Amino acid sequence: MMGQVDIMALAQSVADDMVSWRRDLHQFPELGLEIPQTSAYVQKVLDELGIPYHTLVNGNAIVGLIEGGHPGPVLAIRADMDGLPIAENTGLDFASTNGNMHACGHDGHTAILLGTAKLLQNMKNQLHGSIKLIFQPGEEYPGGAKPMLDEGAFKNPDVDHVIGLHAGSLDPMAPQGVIAYKAENFMASMDRFQIDILGKGSHGAYPETAHDPIATAGLMINGIQMIKSRMIKATEPVVVSITRVSGGYNQNIIPDKVELEGTVRTFNDDQRKFVHQELETMAKNIAQAMGADAEVTYDYKYPAVINDSDFTQRVVDALAKVFSSDQLYESLEPRMGGEDFAYYLQEVPGTFLFLNNPREIDGIFNGHHHEKFDMEEKYFYLGVAAFLTVSFDLLGEA
Protein backbone atom coordinates (compact mmCIF):
# COMPACT_ATOMS: atom_id res chain seq x y z
CA MET A 1 0.00 0.00 0.00
CA MET A 2 1.07 3.60 -0.55
CA GLY A 3 1.76 5.17 2.81
CA GLN A 4 -1.32 5.75 4.93
CA VAL A 5 -3.73 6.58 2.11
CA ASP A 6 -7.39 6.44 3.16
CA ILE A 7 -8.65 4.59 0.11
CA MET A 8 -12.31 4.67 1.06
CA ALA A 9 -12.22 8.45 1.58
CA LEU A 10 -10.43 8.89 -1.74
CA ALA A 11 -13.02 6.78 -3.50
CA GLN A 12 -15.87 8.74 -1.90
CA SER A 13 -14.31 11.99 -3.09
CA VAL A 14 -15.22 11.22 -6.73
CA ALA A 15 -18.77 10.00 -5.95
CA ASP A 16 -20.46 13.09 -7.38
CA ASP A 17 -18.31 12.97 -10.51
CA MET A 18 -19.26 9.35 -11.12
CA VAL A 19 -22.97 10.02 -10.74
CA SER A 20 -22.72 12.91 -13.19
CA TRP A 21 -20.74 10.89 -15.76
CA ARG A 22 -22.99 7.86 -15.40
CA ARG A 23 -26.19 9.87 -15.83
CA ASP A 24 -24.83 11.66 -18.89
CA LEU A 25 -23.79 8.37 -20.50
CA HIS A 26 -27.07 6.73 -19.56
CA GLN A 27 -29.01 9.10 -21.82
CA PHE A 28 -27.41 8.08 -25.13
CA PRO A 29 -26.54 4.33 -25.06
CA GLU A 30 -25.01 2.97 -28.25
CA LEU A 31 -24.70 -0.56 -29.55
CA GLY A 32 -21.95 -2.97 -30.49
CA LEU A 33 -18.64 -1.74 -31.82
CA GLU A 34 -20.04 1.54 -33.15
CA ILE A 35 -20.31 3.88 -30.16
CA PRO A 36 -18.95 7.21 -31.43
CA GLN A 37 -20.85 9.52 -29.06
CA THR A 38 -19.95 7.44 -26.00
CA SER A 39 -16.31 7.22 -27.04
CA ALA A 40 -16.16 10.96 -27.68
CA TYR A 41 -17.61 11.65 -24.22
CA VAL A 42 -15.00 9.47 -22.50
CA GLN A 43 -12.21 11.03 -24.55
CA LYS A 44 -13.40 14.49 -23.49
CA VAL A 45 -13.24 13.51 -19.82
CA LEU A 46 -9.76 12.02 -20.26
CA ASP A 47 -8.67 15.27 -21.94
CA GLU A 48 -9.99 17.22 -18.96
CA LEU A 49 -8.08 14.93 -16.61
CA GLY A 50 -4.88 15.30 -18.61
CA ILE A 51 -4.62 11.57 -19.30
CA PRO A 52 -3.07 10.61 -22.65
CA TYR A 53 -4.83 7.96 -24.71
CA HIS A 54 -5.19 6.48 -28.15
CA THR A 55 -8.15 4.88 -29.89
CA LEU A 56 -8.65 1.48 -31.48
CA VAL A 57 -11.47 -0.35 -33.30
CA ASN A 58 -12.18 2.50 -35.73
CA GLY A 59 -12.03 5.13 -33.00
CA ASN A 60 -14.60 3.46 -30.74
CA ALA A 61 -12.26 1.85 -28.20
CA ILE A 62 -9.95 3.85 -25.94
CA VAL A 63 -6.68 2.94 -24.22
CA GLY A 64 -5.56 5.50 -21.66
CA LEU A 65 -2.18 5.41 -19.96
CA ILE A 66 -1.18 6.71 -16.54
CA GLU A 67 2.60 6.43 -16.32
CA GLY A 68 3.96 6.24 -12.83
CA GLY A 69 6.93 8.17 -11.55
CA HIS A 70 8.96 5.00 -11.11
CA PRO A 71 9.45 1.82 -13.18
CA GLY A 72 7.35 -1.21 -12.40
CA PRO A 73 4.60 -3.51 -13.65
CA VAL A 74 1.64 -2.54 -15.82
CA LEU A 75 -1.91 -3.07 -14.58
CA ALA A 76 -4.82 -2.90 -17.02
CA ILE A 77 -8.25 -1.90 -15.67
CA ARG A 78 -11.17 -2.49 -18.01
CA ALA A 79 -14.64 -0.99 -18.39
CA ASP A 80 -17.15 -1.76 -21.14
CA MET A 81 -19.22 1.06 -22.62
CA ASP A 82 -21.99 -0.32 -24.88
CA GLY A 83 -25.71 -0.66 -24.26
CA LEU A 84 -28.57 -2.88 -25.44
CA PRO A 85 -31.40 -2.55 -27.98
CA ILE A 86 -34.06 -2.22 -25.27
CA ALA A 87 -36.54 0.63 -24.87
CA GLU A 88 -36.04 1.96 -21.33
CA ASN A 89 -38.97 1.95 -18.91
CA THR A 90 -37.35 3.00 -15.63
CA GLY A 91 -39.01 6.38 -15.22
CA LEU A 92 -35.65 7.90 -14.31
CA ASP A 93 -35.14 11.61 -14.90
CA PHE A 94 -32.07 10.75 -16.96
CA ALA A 95 -33.61 7.83 -18.88
CA SER A 96 -32.56 7.13 -22.44
CA THR A 97 -34.91 8.28 -25.17
CA ASN A 98 -33.05 6.93 -28.23
CA GLY A 99 -34.61 3.44 -28.14
CA ASN A 100 -31.54 1.82 -26.60
CA MET A 101 -30.76 1.32 -22.93
CA HIS A 102 -27.87 0.83 -20.53
CA ALA A 103 -29.64 -2.23 -19.16
CA CYS A 104 -26.51 -4.02 -17.96
CA GLY A 105 -24.63 -1.33 -16.04
CA HIS A 106 -21.91 -0.45 -18.52
CA ASP A 107 -22.53 3.26 -17.97
CA GLY A 108 -21.67 2.62 -14.32
CA HIS A 109 -18.58 0.63 -15.25
CA THR A 110 -17.33 3.51 -17.37
CA ALA A 111 -18.02 6.06 -14.63
CA ILE A 112 -16.20 3.92 -12.06
CA LEU A 113 -13.11 3.63 -14.26
CA LEU A 114 -13.15 7.37 -14.95
CA GLY A 115 -13.34 8.02 -11.20
CA THR A 116 -10.43 5.66 -10.63
CA ALA A 117 -8.46 7.33 -13.41
CA LYS A 118 -9.01 10.79 -11.94
CA LEU A 119 -7.55 9.74 -8.60
CA LEU A 120 -4.65 7.73 -9.99
CA GLN A 121 -3.69 10.54 -12.36
CA ASN A 122 -3.37 12.88 -9.36
CA MET A 123 -1.10 10.34 -7.62
CA LYS A 124 0.83 9.06 -10.62
CA ASN A 125 4.24 10.23 -9.40
CA GLN A 126 3.92 7.84 -6.48
CA LEU A 127 3.21 4.82 -8.69
CA HIS A 128 5.92 2.25 -9.37
CA GLY A 129 4.61 1.17 -12.76
CA SER A 130 1.77 2.19 -15.05
CA ILE A 131 -2.01 1.86 -15.34
CA LYS A 132 -3.69 1.10 -18.65
CA LEU A 133 -7.29 2.23 -18.87
CA ILE A 134 -9.25 -0.07 -21.18
CA PHE A 135 -12.54 1.46 -22.35
CA GLN A 136 -14.15 -1.24 -24.49
CA PRO A 137 -17.07 -1.23 -26.94
CA GLY A 138 -19.16 -4.21 -27.95
CA GLU A 139 -19.15 -6.42 -24.85
CA GLU A 140 -22.80 -7.33 -25.32
CA TYR A 141 -22.19 -8.19 -28.97
CA PRO A 142 -20.16 -8.95 -31.02
CA GLY A 143 -17.33 -8.62 -28.48
CA GLY A 144 -14.81 -5.79 -28.32
CA ALA A 145 -12.11 -7.39 -26.16
CA LYS A 146 -10.56 -9.54 -28.88
CA PRO A 147 -10.44 -6.75 -31.49
CA MET A 148 -8.78 -4.49 -28.92
CA LEU A 149 -6.19 -7.15 -28.12
CA ASP A 150 -5.64 -7.86 -31.80
CA GLU A 151 -4.91 -4.16 -32.31
CA GLY A 152 -2.36 -4.09 -29.47
CA ALA A 153 -4.29 -2.84 -26.45
CA PHE A 154 -2.01 -4.82 -24.12
CA LYS A 155 1.22 -3.73 -25.87
CA ASN A 156 3.53 -0.71 -25.53
CA PRO A 157 3.82 -1.03 -22.58
CA ASP A 158 3.04 -4.70 -22.14
CA VAL A 159 0.37 -5.49 -19.56
CA ASP A 160 1.30 -7.76 -16.64
CA HIS A 161 -2.09 -8.06 -14.89
CA VAL A 162 -5.71 -7.17 -15.62
CA ILE A 163 -8.72 -6.48 -13.45
CA GLY A 164 -12.32 -5.51 -14.08
CA LEU A 165 -15.74 -5.63 -12.47
CA HIS A 166 -19.41 -5.96 -13.28
CA ALA A 167 -22.01 -3.95 -11.39
CA GLY A 168 -25.65 -4.80 -10.73
CA SER A 169 -26.47 -8.23 -9.36
CA LEU A 170 -24.82 -11.07 -11.24
CA ASP A 171 -24.59 -13.17 -8.09
CA PRO A 172 -28.07 -13.01 -6.51
CA MET A 173 -26.74 -14.63 -3.32
CA ALA A 174 -24.40 -11.70 -2.67
CA PRO A 175 -25.67 -9.04 -0.24
CA GLN A 176 -26.21 -5.44 -1.25
CA GLY A 177 -23.09 -3.28 -1.20
CA VAL A 178 -20.34 -5.90 -1.51
CA ILE A 179 -17.48 -6.77 -3.81
CA ALA A 180 -17.86 -10.43 -4.80
CA TYR A 181 -14.95 -12.57 -5.94
CA LYS A 182 -14.14 -16.14 -6.88
CA ALA A 183 -10.97 -17.90 -8.00
CA GLU A 184 -10.91 -19.98 -11.17
CA ASN A 185 -14.30 -20.61 -12.88
CA PHE A 186 -16.37 -17.44 -12.55
CA MET A 187 -18.47 -16.98 -15.70
CA ALA A 188 -19.26 -19.44 -18.48
CA SER A 189 -18.29 -19.52 -22.11
CA MET A 190 -20.95 -18.26 -24.50
CA ASP A 191 -21.57 -19.97 -27.85
CA ARG A 192 -24.44 -19.62 -30.31
CA PHE A 193 -25.93 -22.24 -32.60
CA GLN A 194 -28.56 -22.27 -35.31
CA ILE A 195 -30.18 -25.31 -36.91
CA ASP A 196 -31.97 -24.88 -40.24
CA ILE A 197 -34.39 -27.78 -40.71
CA LEU A 198 -35.07 -28.17 -44.42
CA GLY A 199 -38.16 -30.24 -45.21
CA LYS A 200 -40.87 -30.33 -47.83
CA GLY A 201 -43.98 -28.24 -47.45
CA SER A 202 -47.53 -29.27 -48.18
CA HIS A 203 -51.17 -28.62 -47.40
CA GLY A 204 -51.85 -29.09 -43.70
CA ALA A 205 -54.60 -31.59 -44.47
CA TYR A 206 -52.18 -33.94 -46.22
CA PRO A 207 -49.12 -34.36 -43.95
CA GLU A 208 -48.23 -37.65 -45.64
CA THR A 209 -47.15 -35.67 -48.72
CA ALA A 210 -44.77 -33.50 -46.68
CA HIS A 211 -41.48 -33.92 -44.86
CA ASP A 212 -42.68 -31.86 -41.94
CA PRO A 213 -39.94 -29.56 -40.50
CA ILE A 214 -42.21 -28.58 -37.58
CA ALA A 215 -42.66 -32.16 -36.41
CA THR A 216 -38.94 -32.65 -36.98
CA ALA A 217 -38.20 -29.58 -34.87
CA GLY A 218 -40.30 -30.98 -32.03
CA LEU A 219 -38.30 -34.22 -31.98
CA MET A 220 -35.08 -32.25 -32.29
CA ILE A 221 -35.89 -29.98 -29.35
CA ASN A 222 -36.55 -32.99 -27.14
CA GLY A 223 -33.43 -34.74 -28.38
CA ILE A 224 -31.18 -31.77 -27.79
CA GLN A 225 -32.19 -31.70 -24.13
CA MET A 226 -30.70 -35.19 -23.82
CA ILE A 227 -27.21 -33.89 -24.57
CA LYS A 228 -26.90 -32.42 -21.10
CA SER A 229 -29.14 -34.83 -19.20
CA ARG A 230 -27.86 -38.10 -20.68
CA MET A 231 -24.47 -37.50 -22.30
CA ILE A 232 -22.67 -35.24 -19.82
CA LYS A 233 -21.81 -35.98 -16.20
CA ALA A 234 -24.41 -34.46 -13.89
CA THR A 235 -21.81 -32.47 -11.93
CA GLU A 236 -20.45 -30.78 -15.08
CA PRO A 237 -21.81 -27.22 -15.46
CA VAL A 238 -23.22 -27.20 -18.98
CA VAL A 239 -26.29 -25.42 -20.33
CA VAL A 240 -27.84 -26.03 -23.75
CA SER A 241 -30.85 -23.75 -24.30
CA ILE A 242 -33.01 -23.38 -27.40
CA THR A 243 -34.12 -19.76 -27.36
CA ARG A 244 -35.79 -19.21 -30.74
CA VAL A 245 -38.09 -21.35 -32.88
CA SER A 246 -39.16 -19.81 -36.19
CA GLY A 247 -41.21 -21.28 -39.04
CA GLY A 248 -44.58 -21.56 -40.63
CA TYR A 249 -47.12 -19.28 -42.24
CA ASN A 250 -50.64 -20.09 -41.08
CA GLN A 251 -52.96 -22.85 -39.88
CA ASN A 252 -53.22 -24.94 -43.03
CA ILE A 253 -49.73 -24.90 -44.55
CA ILE A 254 -46.84 -27.18 -43.58
CA PRO A 255 -43.74 -25.04 -44.30
CA ASP A 256 -40.53 -26.01 -46.02
CA LYS A 257 -38.24 -24.74 -43.27
CA VAL A 258 -37.97 -24.21 -39.52
CA GLU A 259 -35.11 -22.49 -37.67
CA LEU A 260 -33.90 -23.29 -34.17
CA GLU A 261 -31.46 -21.00 -32.42
CA GLY A 262 -29.88 -21.29 -29.01
CA THR A 263 -26.90 -20.95 -26.71
CA VAL A 264 -24.36 -23.27 -25.08
CA ARG A 265 -22.64 -22.40 -21.79
CA THR A 266 -19.82 -24.30 -20.09
CA PHE A 267 -16.34 -23.84 -18.57
CA ASN A 268 -14.41 -26.37 -20.60
CA ASP A 269 -13.31 -26.10 -24.23
CA ASP A 270 -13.56 -29.87 -24.62
CA GLN A 271 -17.20 -29.68 -23.52
CA ARG A 272 -17.86 -26.91 -26.02
CA LYS A 273 -16.51 -29.11 -28.81
CA PHE A 274 -18.45 -32.14 -27.52
CA VAL A 275 -21.77 -30.28 -27.47
CA HIS A 276 -21.07 -28.90 -30.93
CA GLN A 277 -20.46 -32.39 -32.32
CA GLU A 278 -23.53 -33.86 -30.61
CA LEU A 279 -25.71 -31.05 -31.95
CA GLU A 280 -24.48 -31.84 -35.45
CA THR A 281 -25.03 -35.58 -35.06
CA MET A 282 -28.44 -35.34 -33.43
CA ALA A 283 -29.79 -32.72 -35.80
CA LYS A 284 -28.75 -34.55 -38.94
CA ASN A 285 -29.89 -37.99 -37.75
CA ILE A 286 -33.31 -36.82 -36.54
CA ALA A 287 -33.82 -34.85 -39.73
CA GLN A 288 -32.86 -37.85 -41.85
CA ALA A 289 -35.29 -40.08 -39.95
CA MET A 290 -38.06 -37.61 -40.83
CA GLY A 291 -37.08 -37.32 -44.48
CA ALA A 292 -35.69 -33.82 -43.98
CA ASP A 293 -32.22 -32.30 -43.81
CA ALA A 294 -30.51 -30.15 -41.21
CA GLU A 295 -27.78 -27.53 -41.49
CA VAL A 296 -26.02 -26.66 -38.22
CA THR A 297 -24.13 -23.41 -37.64
CA TYR A 298 -22.10 -23.31 -34.43
CA ASP A 299 -20.40 -20.04 -33.48
CA TYR A 300 -17.71 -20.18 -30.83
CA LYS A 301 -18.17 -16.83 -29.10
CA TYR A 302 -16.71 -15.86 -25.70
CA PRO A 303 -14.53 -18.29 -23.74
CA ALA A 304 -15.09 -18.82 -20.01
CA VAL A 305 -14.02 -16.21 -17.45
CA ILE A 306 -11.42 -18.11 -15.44
CA ASN A 307 -9.82 -15.97 -12.74
CA ASP A 308 -6.17 -16.64 -12.00
CA SER A 309 -5.99 -18.33 -8.59
CA ASP A 310 -2.78 -16.71 -7.35
CA PHE A 311 -3.66 -13.23 -8.52
CA THR A 312 -7.21 -13.50 -7.17
CA GLN A 313 -5.82 -14.46 -3.76
CA ARG A 314 -3.47 -11.48 -3.86
CA VAL A 315 -6.38 -9.19 -4.72
CA VAL A 316 -8.52 -10.62 -1.92
CA ASP A 317 -5.69 -10.27 0.60
CA ALA A 318 -5.22 -6.63 -0.42
CA LEU A 319 -8.94 -5.86 -0.32
CA ALA A 320 -9.26 -7.42 3.13
CA LYS A 321 -6.92 -4.74 4.50
CA VAL A 322 -9.20 -1.96 3.24
CA PHE A 323 -12.72 -3.38 3.11
CA SER A 324 -14.66 -4.58 6.13
CA SER A 325 -15.61 -8.25 6.26
CA ASP A 326 -19.22 -7.43 5.40
CA GLN A 327 -18.11 -5.58 2.24
CA LEU A 328 -16.40 -8.65 0.72
CA TYR A 329 -18.19 -11.78 -0.42
CA GLU A 330 -16.85 -15.00 -1.90
CA SER A 331 -19.19 -16.30 -4.59
CA LEU A 332 -19.95 -19.95 -3.93
CA GLU A 333 -20.58 -21.04 -7.49
CA PRO A 334 -19.80 -19.80 -10.99
CA ARG A 335 -22.39 -17.97 -13.04
CA MET A 336 -23.57 -19.30 -16.40
CA GLY A 337 -23.69 -15.83 -17.98
CA GLY A 338 -20.84 -14.87 -20.32
CA GLU A 339 -18.38 -11.97 -20.50
CA ASP A 340 -15.69 -11.27 -23.07
CA PHE A 341 -13.36 -10.13 -20.27
CA ALA A 342 -12.39 -13.79 -20.69
CA TYR A 343 -10.12 -12.86 -23.60
CA TYR A 344 -8.02 -10.58 -21.39
CA LEU A 345 -7.60 -13.40 -18.86
CA GLN A 346 -6.22 -15.60 -21.62
CA GLU A 347 -3.44 -13.04 -22.15
CA VAL A 348 -2.27 -12.24 -18.60
CA PRO A 349 -3.10 -13.26 -15.02
CA GLY A 350 -6.04 -11.30 -13.71
CA THR A 351 -9.37 -11.39 -11.95
CA PHE A 352 -12.92 -10.22 -12.54
CA LEU A 353 -15.07 -8.97 -9.67
CA PHE A 354 -18.75 -8.27 -9.10
CA LEU A 355 -20.05 -5.10 -7.46
CA ASN A 356 -23.44 -6.01 -6.03
CA ASN A 357 -25.55 -2.84 -6.16
CA PRO A 358 -29.03 -3.61 -7.55
CA ARG A 359 -31.68 -0.91 -7.26
CA GLU A 360 -35.36 -1.72 -6.97
CA ILE A 361 -38.02 -0.10 -9.14
CA ASP A 362 -41.66 -0.65 -8.18
CA GLY A 363 -40.49 -2.68 -5.21
CA ILE A 364 -38.39 -5.23 -7.11
CA PHE A 365 -35.00 -5.53 -8.78
CA ASN A 366 -35.82 -6.31 -12.39
CA GLY A 367 -32.56 -7.92 -13.43
CA HIS A 368 -29.99 -7.35 -16.13
CA HIS A 369 -31.18 -6.80 -19.71
CA HIS A 370 -34.60 -5.70 -18.43
CA GLU A 371 -36.36 -2.46 -19.37
CA LYS A 372 -36.45 -1.49 -15.66
CA PHE A 373 -32.87 -2.41 -14.72
CA ASP A 374 -31.13 0.07 -12.43
CA MET A 375 -28.21 0.29 -9.98
CA GLU A 376 -27.60 1.97 -6.63
CA GLU A 377 -25.12 4.71 -7.49
CA LYS A 378 -24.15 5.18 -3.83
CA TYR A 379 -22.05 2.00 -4.04
CA PHE A 380 -19.97 3.04 -7.06
CA TYR A 381 -17.23 4.15 -4.68
CA LEU A 382 -16.66 0.50 -3.70
CA GLY A 383 -15.62 -0.24 -7.28
CA VAL A 384 -13.18 2.66 -7.22
CA ALA A 385 -11.86 1.54 -3.83
CA ALA A 386 -11.27 -1.97 -5.19
CA PHE A 387 -9.38 -0.68 -8.23
CA LEU A 388 -7.32 1.72 -6.11
CA THR A 389 -6.48 -1.01 -3.61
CA VAL A 390 -5.21 -3.34 -6.30
CA SER A 391 -3.32 -0.52 -8.02
CA PHE A 392 -1.56 0.51 -4.80
CA ASP A 393 -0.83 -3.11 -3.89
CA LEU A 394 0.84 -3.81 -7.24
CA LEU A 395 2.38 -0.42 -7.94
CA GLY A 396 3.03 0.92 -4.45
CA GLU A 397 6.57 1.22 -3.19
CA ALA A 398 7.91 -2.18 -2.09
Point out the residues that are catalytic.
82, 139
To the nearest 10 degrees (0 to 180), the angle between helices 269-289 and 213-231 is: 140
Instruction: Identify the burial level of 126 via C-beta atoms within 10 angstroms of its C-beta, where 0-12 means exposed, 13-18 middle and 19 or more buried.
Output: middle
Give the three-state DSSP class for 7: helix
Going by their DSSP bridges, the two strands 257-265 and 190-198 should be labelled as antiparallel
CB 335 within 8 A of CB 342: no
- Does 109 belong to an annotated binding site? no
Query: Rounded to an integer, what distance in angstroms lies between the CA atom of residue 280 and that of residue 298?
Result: 9
Q: What's the one-letter identity of residue 106?
A: H
Instruction: Identify the burial level of 317 via C-beta atoms within 10 angstroms of its C-beta, where 0-12 means exposed, 13-18 middle and 19 or more buried.
Output: exposed
CB 398 within 8 A of CB 128: yes
Residues near 359 by beta carbon (within 8 Å), at least 6 away in sequence: 365, 374, 375, 376
Residues recorded for the chain: 398
Query: Rounded to an integer, what distance in angstroms lies between the CA atom of residue 140 and that of residue 129?
Result: 31
- The per-residue DSSP string of 9-38 comes to HHHHHTHHHHHHHHHHHHTS---TT--HHH
Residues near 333 by beta carbon (within 8 Å), at least 6 away in sequence: none
Backbone angles phi and psi of 335, in degrees to 5: -100, 145
Query: Rounded to an integer, what distance in angstroms lies between the CA atom of residue 261 and that of residue 243?
Result: 6
CB 114 within 8 A of CB 42: yes
**DSSP 8-state code for residue 159:** P
- Does 106 belong to an annotated binding site? yes
CA dihedral 167, 175, 171, 114 (to 10 degrees): 10
- Does 102 belong to an annotated binding site? no
CB 145 within 8 A of CB 340: yes
Instruction: Report how far apart, in Å, the C-alpha atoms of 46 and of each of 12, 35, 391 are.
Output: 20, 17, 19
Query: Rounded to an integer, what distance in angstroms lies between the CA atom of residue 112 and that of residue 382?
Result: 9
| Annotated binding-site residue numbers for Mn(2+) | 104, 106, 140, 166, 369
